[in-house]
Amino acid sequence: MKLCDLLKDLDTREIRADLSLEIRSVTSDSRKLRQGDVFVCLKGTRVDGTSFIPSALERGAAAVVTYEAPKEKIPYVLMEDTRDALPRLLSNLYGHPERSFDRIIGITGTNGKTTTSFMLKAIFDHAGHKTGLIGTTKYLVLDEEFQVDQKAAFLTTPDPELLFELFCAMREKGVDTVIMETSSHALAFQKLAGIPFHVGIFTNLTRDHIDFHQTMEEYLQAKKLLFKTAEKGLFNKDDPAFEAITEDVRSEVFSFSSEKAAHFKAGRILSHTPHGLCFELESPEGKEEISLPLPGLFNISNALCALGGASLCGIPVKTAKEALAHMAGVKGRIERIPTDTPFSVFIDFAHTPDALENIIKTLRSFTEGRLMVLFGCGGDRDKTKRPIMGEIACRLSDFVIITSDNSRTEKKEDIIRDILVGTEGTKTPLVSITDRTAAIRFAIDEAREGDVILLAGKGHEEYEIDENGKHDYSEKAIVLEYIGEKKL
């Protein structure tokens, strides 16, 4: 592709390059750059992208797209905002794959994005559509998992280079519906610039990522960016941020609620057991009974997101309810490990105060014995939520085990110390065990008949990140192996 075609419809401040220059590809990672590529300099929170221009030159960059004129002798294009430009450049490079889909649905919010995305996929699959899914646990092209570099960080919303590879793979397979989790990081860093969302969904806003956004207001504004572009927006009317996030958006506003008048409203709860729940739905199509094979009253909110989002895309509620009634569980979300023991072990991704409280309350509703909660908090992340989660665990459970969880560059003991601040004065039995594997084994040793053990924080993750980097780590495997050893 020629440089002039790569730059089509993009705003440029200055071009100091031959527009007939042949371009092989585009990347913002100088380590992946090859002869004939364009290197896009991104201004990061810690690193200045222009500092990698010498490395790009050594690797044979044809030109650079940058936010300030380079000191080095190299063809360049000057742009006001290279983060906004990167996905648009990739769109031009790959022939606009994002325009080949009938609809792209974006889901944003602190909790519930993954479960909602799998609910939506089940609905669109059942309705006969060809779907692609991009989210926290996996990337799917139809029902085939898209393989990514195992050494790279797996992001809820992938960086633009990988995102457009995914779009191309989906286009090739005839995908007509793309369902995406859109993280606040991706929105703030404009990784989704130029992508035409048909529907945007807002699940909720609770405390998380304050290490990155600094304030809850900044966090909200990042989420709100999705609705500056989406045609239709579906919003949680029960969330305190409803008025703020729906103000001055481009999207046509639709709502869902369990408590207030809304376009999609949950009425009476007809049943709630460890195996699932049933509730009444009131929508523009009338009343329907919705059955879910997933426990947890918070899944009503997730179901409203999915039912409403599908309806805004033209899927009848009757079709959607059939899909939800038979959908499989979501990996790492209230997932019961088949232990064949007199006690139960659940794993869940809950890693925010709100999510931890929700999952504990759900498990409490069908725990016959003691509810034992094991959790930690991530290193190099929002420290303010650590004592809050400690307080919640002690207040709502019968036995608490505080341990590590992706400590990254922080000392595990320091993270645990921060959590313990919130447990001061508690009468709930509590222990802290730095090594997570030892903590899991301790919980199993302590469990009695009728008890429920919750392993919170990692959920679907099958890795651990500590001072030594990223390595394989499966809670499910650890539980099954240890119980197997105890039975010998």
Read off the pTM: 0.89
| Parallel, antiparallel or unpaired: strands 177-181 and 131-134 | parallel
Q: Where are the domains of the chain?
A: 3-93, 97-325, 335-487
Phi/psi for 201 (5° steps) reads -125, 130
Residue 90 confidence (pLDDT): 98
Provide the CATH number for the domain formed by 97-325 in this structure. Answer: 3.40.1190.10
Residue 145 confidence (pLDDT): 94
Residue 35 confidence (pLDDT): 96
| Parallel, antiparallel or unpaired: strands 232-236 and 199-202 | parallel
CB 264 within 8 A of CB 304: yes
Q: Tens of pLDDT along the chain (488 residues)?
A: 999 999 999 999 999 999 999 999 999 999 999 999 999 999 876 788 999 999 999 999 999 999 999 999 999 999 999 999 999 999 999 999 999 999 999 999 989 999 999 999 999 999 999 999 999 999 999 999 998 876 556 788 999 999 999 999 999 999 999 999 999 999 999 999 999 999 999 999 986 655 565 688 898 999 999 999 999 999 999 999 999 999 999 999 999 999 999 999 999 999 998 889 999 999 999 999 999 999 999 999 999 999 999 999 999 999 999 999 999 888 899 999 999 999 999 999 999 999 999 999 999 988 999 999 999 999 999 899 999 999 999 999 999 999 999 999 999 999 999 999 999 999 999 999 999 999 999 999 999 999 999 999 999 999 999 999 999 999 999 999 999 998 76
Both tokens of residue 371? 């509810």
pLDDT digit string (tens) for 362-383?
999 889 999 999 999 999 998 9
Residue 390 confidence (pLDDT): 98
pLDDT digit string (tens) for 159-216?
999 999 999 999 999 999 999 999 999 999 999 999 999 999 999 998 665 556 568 8
CATH top-level class of 3-93: alpha beta
Instruction: Report the topology of domain 335-487.
Output: Protein-Tyrosine Phosphatase; Chain A (3.90.190)
Nearest to 272 by CA among 308, 300, 305, 301: 300
Residue 444 confidence (pLDDT): 97
CA angle 391, 182, 25 (to 5 degrees): 135
Distance CA 100, CA 90 (A): 15
Residue 487 confidence (pLDDT): 79
Say which residues have a Cβ less than 8 Å from residue 57's Cβ, sequence separation at least 6: 72, 74
Distance CA 162, CA 154 (A): 11
Residue 213 confidence (pLDDT): 55
Alpha-carbon Rg of the chain, whole angstroms?
Answer: 24
Phi/psi for 470 (5° steps) reads -100, 130
